[in-house]
Structure 1
Amino acid sequence: MFWLISHIAIPQSQVLFGFVPKESLKVFDWIQSIIERLEAVVNYIFERLPYNALNRLIIYLIILFFVALMVLLPSIAFLKVYISYRDRKYAHLYKKYSNDVIQYLMNALEDKDMEELKNRKSRFHRRVMVDVLMAIDKAENKEVSDKIRKLYKDIKLDADSRRKVQKRAWYKRIRGIRELSHMREKSENQRILDFLNNKNEVLRIESQIGLIKLLPFVPFAFLDSQEKPFTVWEQINVFDLIRKKRIEIPEFHLWLDHWNDSVVMFCLDMIRILKQKEATPKVLELVNHDNDRVKGKVIKTLVELENIDAVALLKEMYLLEELPNKLNILKSIGQLRLEGEIGFLKKELKNPEFKIRMECCKSIALLGAWGEKRLREIELEADETLKKIINHVLDPRL
């Protein structure tokens, strides 16, 4: 290795014709002298060590790590200085373009400044301009928003955003989607729709959020094209957008027939949270769904919608259900506080399954003072396990 580096020579013709400055020769000579000294040290060590391939390997690895360290340290220092420089430059440009945009909104921007904005070709400058426009457009003022979007198109920043969406890198696509959706630029809607089934979860989330903003009259149309599982993280992000933005809320029962169970469960959650009671008949149709998780959501939704008529149907389902759904049905009866169902609950107290007995006691206790009195009466004839359950449920410390 050292022999190869030390015998790298610069052709004399390059020096004669000025391709390599004479000052550079001094640097090369200095580097070559260092390499020769290192080679002498290594040879000295090898001469005094017993000949062993492992010894040589260890020496070469130490040298390799040393060289890597000498390369990495300056690189890290340079990168840190460069990032600091970029941050200072960004802050300076952000302030400058913020003033320009404010002047523009006040119709006080001079023609030469406007031309300067239009003629900026640097990607970094144009990125700062987009950030400024999006930040200023936070206020819910239609006149301001219209002006900002006009400026966005006048300086052709929309073309930059479209190019980002068309890139292969997922993080560039995300940035493009955010810019286009914020500015209500719909030219790339079809491409964004295609991203809904991308394997990258972050890109899917941004596509869903972007389409909600881009399609204000049908903000949840993306659910029709949802082929991938609609993950909990995606659902949280969509719900957070609903909570923060003034978006027209659709009738979520429209998607209860969707073949994607994750979409159905999301819609059941939305029906439950938003108290869309008009969806009750459609929800009732799902009580015999093939997926037990969907059934569980159906039971919770019916209870939250306070649908008493559904109790009879849930009781019919009870015997055929697995333990998780049995517990949900018992819990639903308790939450609805139906005194007329005390007989059904007392019957299930004889079930050998501990969790069922516990849930029945909790449901009876939810009936208030009347329910607590019934539990004390039941306790008189109960076995030891049931007595412990009743005492636990009625413990005032809980």
Structure 2
Amino acid sequence: MIIRPIYAIFFLVSTFAGNIVTLANGSGPDVFEVNLSGESFGDELFIDDGSLHIFVPELQNNDELSGPRKYLERKAQRLPHKNFWLQAQDSTKDKLEEIGQKIFGPKAEPIFNYVLEVIFDVPLLIVLSILIFAFVFNVIIVVIIVFVSNLVKNTREKYKAVLRERYEQIVTNYIFEEIDALEAIEKMEKVKTSLGRKTLIEILFNFQNNLSGEYSERILMLYQRLGLQYESIRKISSMFFHKRVLGIRELANMYPSGAKNIIVRYIKDKNDIVRGEAQIAYVYLDEEASFDFLDKLKRPFSLWAQLNSLNFVKLHEKEVPSFDQWIHSPNNDIQDFSIRMINYFQQSENAPHLITLLDHENERTRLYAYQAINSLSYLEAKEIVKGKFEVENKRNKLEIIRLLANIGDDSDFVFFDNLLLTDDIEIRLAVCKTLHELGPSGRNHLEELKENSELDLEKYIEHIKDPRN
């Protein structure tokens, strides 16, 4: 007879999780049957006064309960009330419905409520099991992907190293005329994989950048005879900007005869890096250095592209056009570039055009104009520049003072005297330095001003005379 209560304990423990969640979700009856050893004794699980009880009719009047049944009865009385879980569930569900109504509105509210019903009807144990399974599955997938990726990468690198060594040997033999062009091309054409042709382009590109004269021409011939320019053209048409940049570089260096008409389409590209690379390549390929692409350029002309364009023109000593034609371009970057090029190439004939830029809304553009006027020593601009002093920012004011050190004279002493009345230390120091650089008359005037104790110029004069400054 002891076997029956023991079996009841194990049966309740094994089914407890599912049944108690069912009660917590509000499904199932308040009273249900428990089958002991396949034989029903009418044992009932019922709820009364906030406690969950096991009621055994046959043993109600029996004070001598066996040990296992007494333990089961005592533990069962401590189980939480079903209504507690129902209230928590209903409260949470109501809050979520309110939130869904505010966020999704009346149209999507029925769908949101349906999802909530499904979620709250599924036992928590099943939900947790699904989440655990999904987590373990994702971990396994990630491990497999990482392993396969590393395996593919290592295999690819090894294959690329073998190809690189092979191609470098062929190109070296060809350059030193140990094999002719036909033999070199025949050996290189044996590998027709995408990785093989990509590796070959890299090798020829490196050789071409490090060689000149006849050797460079031989490399270009190999590149074009192998039809590698079409690989570069495919790169330049890619949706990825880094591939387009690489394609532009390859065409500009390895296919100069036909690259210009291809690259010109990317001078106005939306991507800053692609556009800058195309602009530099166009200057490189334009034998006349006409800079005609500036005529219709509406997008920014980056400082990086400007500096590289200037560097290329200097390196190859090309003759540049007159940049006054772009002084009034609607593109402010082109205006700034034109001013700096006028300054650098000392195009004095364009100095009068700089006067109109002193009213430009951009402070940086006005600064470049002041610097160019200073560099070109355009004397006719002196009075106009002095008239702009009061409306300029501090940086441009200092540039005007430096400009007057170059084109100023004794007639400007009154202007300088008024500036020394300011409390701005940088302005006062710049005026003292300008007077000192104007020659003997300027230095004599500075000594006269030194006698005026109200101006307190001794420390400024000592500073500019110090050879360490």
Q: Determine the C-alpha separation between the residues in 2 that align with 1:60 and 1:376.
A: 91
Equivalent residue in structure 2 for 1:151, among 218, 222, 244: 222
Report if aligned partners of 2:252, 2:259 keep a CA contact under 8 Å in 1: no
Matched, 1:96 2:174: no
Residue 352 of structure 1 deviates from its aligned partner by: 5.6
- Paired residue for 1:229? 300
2:384 aligned partner? 313
1:236 Cα offset (Å): 3.3
TM-superposed CA distance for 1:297, in Å, is 0.8
2:189 & 2:296 partners in 1: Cα distance? Answer: 38
CA 217–110 in structure 1, closer or farther in 2 if over 3 Å, else same:
closer
Distance 1:83 1:164 in 2: 21
Deviation at 1:180, TM superposition (A): 0.8
2:429·2:460 contact (CA, 8 Å) conserved in 1?
yes
Q: Which amino acid aligns with 1:263?
A: I
Q: Summarize the Cα distance change of 1:396–1:382 in structure 2 as closer, same or farther, 3 Å threshold.
A: farther
Cα deviation code 1:323-357 (max 9, x no counterpart): 44333211211355755533321122224655543
Shift in Å, 1:322: 4.8
Q: 1:361 to 1:59 in 2, by over 3 A?
A: farther
Which of the numbers 302, 318, 328 marks the counterpart of 1:248?
A: 318
Q: What secondary structure does 1:197 align onto? A: coil
- Equivalent residue of 2:358, what SS? coil
Indicate how the Cα distance of structure 1 residues 337 and 74 shifts in structure 2: closer, same or farther if over 3 A, else same: farther
Answer yes or no: is 1:349 the counterpart of 2:423: no
Bigger Cα Rg: 2
CA distance in 1, matches of 2:468, 2:131: 66
* Stretch moving more, 246-255 or 225-234: 246-255
Amino acid at match of 1:287: L
1:138 CA drift (Å): 2.3
- Does the CA contact (< 8 Å) of 2:163 and 2:196 recur in 1? yes
Verify the 8 A CA contact 1:287 1:298 in the aligned structure 2. Answer: yes
Q: Which runs of 5+ in 1 are unaligned?
A: 1-39
Contact persistence 2:289–2:313 (CA under 8 A) = no
Q: Does 1:161 align with 2:161?
A: no
The answer on 1:130 being equivalent to 2:201 is yes
Pairing 1:360–2:431 present: yes
Does the 8 Å CA contact 2:405/2:438 hold for their aligned counterparts? yes
Report the number of matched residues: 354
Residue equivalent to 2:50: none
Distance (whole Å) between structure 1 residues aligned to residue 255 and residue 286 of structure 2: 9
CA contact (8 A) 1:197 1:204 kept: yes
| TM superposition shift of 1:299 | 0.5
Q: Which runs of 5+ in 2 are unaligned?
A: 1-13, 22-79, 90-118
Query: Residues 201-245 of structure 1: CA distance to partner in whole angstroms, max 9, x if unpaired?
Result: 1111111122122222235232223211223233334344445x4
Q: 1:218 aligns with which of 289, 297, 313?
A: 289
| 2:7 corresponds to | none
1:126 to partner: Cα distance: 0.8
Q: Describe the SS at the equivalent of 1:227.
A: coil
Asked whether the equivalents of residues 97 and 132 of structure 1 are also in contact (C-alpha less than 8 Å), the reply is yes
- TM-score, normalised to structure 2, is 0.63
Output aligned runs, 1:320-335, within 5 Å: 320-334=391-405
1:351-379 deviations in Å (ceiling 9; x for gaps): 46555434323322444787566445324
Q: CA deviation at 1:72?
A: 3.1
Q: In structure 1, what is the Cα distance between the partners aligned to 2:467 and 2:206?
A: 53
Deviation sequence 1:252-295 (CA, Å, 0-9, x none): 33422322121111122233234444443443453344544322
2:341 partner SS: helix
Pairwise CA distance, 1:100: 1.6
Deviation of 1:89 after TM superposition, in Å, equals 3.0
Aligned partner (choices 143, 150, 157) of residue 87 of structure 1: 157
CA contact (8 A) 2:420 2:455 kept: no
CA RMSD of aligned residues (A): 3.9
**Alpha-carbon contact 2:236-2:247 (below 8 Å) kept:** yes
Alignment partners' CA distance in 2, 1:141 and 1:113:
20
1:269 aligns with one of 340, 348, 367: 340
Q: Distance in 2 between matches of 1:378 and 1:58?
A: 89
CA distance in 1, matches of 2:292, 2:249: 18
Matches within 5 A, 1:66-85: 67-85=137-155
Cα distance in 1 for residues equivalent to 2:161 and 2:440: 65
Alpha-carbon offset, residue 200 of structure 1? 1.1
> 2:365 & 2:420 partners in 1: Cα distance?
27
Describe the shift of the 1:374–1:164 C-alpha distance in structure 2 as closer, same or farther (beyond 3 A).
same
Distance in 1 between residues matched to 2:259 and 2:362, nearest whole Å = 36
In structure 2, C-alpha distance between the alignment counterparts of 1:59 and 1:387, rounded to whole Å: 86
Segment of structure 1 superposing worse, 169-178 or 87-96: 87-96
Map of 2:373 onto structure 1? 302
CA distance in 1: counterparts of 2:351 and 2:194, whole angstroms: 53
Work out the CA distance in 2 between the residues paired with 1:92 and 1:368: 71
2:450–2:456 contact (8 Å) kept in structure 1: no
Q: More strand per residue: 1 or 2?
A: 2
SS of 2:316's equivalent in the other structure is: coil
Output the CA distance in 2 between the equivalents of 1:326 and 1:73: 64
Amino acid at match of 2:149: L
